[in-house]
Amino acid sequence: MADGVTSGRLRGRDLERPFRGARLLPTGALLDDGPLAIDRRKRDRVRLRAAAARGILTPHAALAGLTAAAIWGAPLPDEFDPDDDLCLITPHPHRAPRGRGVRGREVRSHLFSTEERDGLRVTSPASTWALLGGELSPRWLTIIGDHLVRIPRSDRGAAQPHLQLASPQLLERALREPGRRHRAGLEAALAGIRVGSASRLETEYRLDAAAAGLPELELDVEIRNALGRLLGIADGVYARFGIIVEIEGDHHRTSRAQWNRDIDRFAAFAAQGWEVIRPTLSTR
């Protein structure tokens, strides 16, 4: 057998059979139950199953929907089950794959484009977002949109615009394509998307704060001292009021290294006259 795997091993009762002709080793127990770890675990599970499905993908098929969102590293709704059918898409009139473990649909070719990610053919970030218009609320479309337009930073805080998955302009272009369905929800979400949110928690804080009447939050702000030395990157800033907002996800609590870095960073911010507030999950 290929890769030295015998037919007897492929019949092993411990192996999962997600698709015809595919086998997966069982995954271990989840040791970290924090929100970020659960989300990461779900995305890893989708990637594993998607890789196993390569053999049943037709030449025109691509991964789409929340399957594609997971592959692009996006936050996922709490109710999302990574073992649900993989979402596949093909350009009309090509027939989408169907069968155990997959859910296919045909869409006009001008309504999506594809790229390769981690060796998988997947709808582009902007297409993925626009095609989710019929599945997700405007709030969740904003959360995923924020992820797609975020400009990552290096460990030293340098912006890396070449790693941005999509821009707000690309999202708008995708939703404006003739024949795009669910446009109203996409437009409502696009109006709330901002470049700079690094997590679902940051997006949700920003949306809730705006709904409560707070000023627009400046996102992903470089904080420097009087000599211009970078002290850190603030999640958000109300510059007029001298307030920095740092959203406390579970990784701030469970990682000792992150905890120590936060203490040093907040002390440096305070020394420059900033007041730091730290909303948590329970603040929402």
Give the type of residue at 87: C
Helix (H, G, I), strand (E, B) or coil at 275: strand
Burial class (CB in 10 A: 0-12, 13-18, 19+), 75: buried
Residue 121 lies in a domain: no
Residue 27 lies in a domain: no
Residue 277 lies in a domain: yes
Residue 170 lies in a domain: no
pLDDT digit string (tens) for 214-249? 999 999 999 999 999 999 999 999 999 999 999 986
Q: d(Cα 58, Cα 74) in Å, to the nearest integer?
A: 25
Closest alpha carbon to 146 in 219, 245, 47: 219
Per-position DSSP letters for 1-42, written without gaps between them: -GGG--HHHHT-TTSB--STT--BPPP------SHHHHHHHH
Residue 205 lies in a domain: yes
Cβ contact 124:112 at 8 Å: yes
Domain with 242 in it? 196-284
Q: What angle do CA 168, 169, 171 make, to 5 degrees?
A: 65
The low-confidence residues of the chain, meaning pLDDT below 70, are 1-36, 249-257, 281-284
Residue 92 lies in a domain: no
* Number of domains within the chain: 1
Question: Which two tokens mark 237?
Answer: 């800033």
Cβ contact 18:24 at 8 Å: yes
How distant is the alpha carbon of residue 21 from its chain centre? 30
Residue 76 lies in a domain: no
pLDDT computed for residue 280 by the predictor:
78
Residue 270 lies in a domain: yes
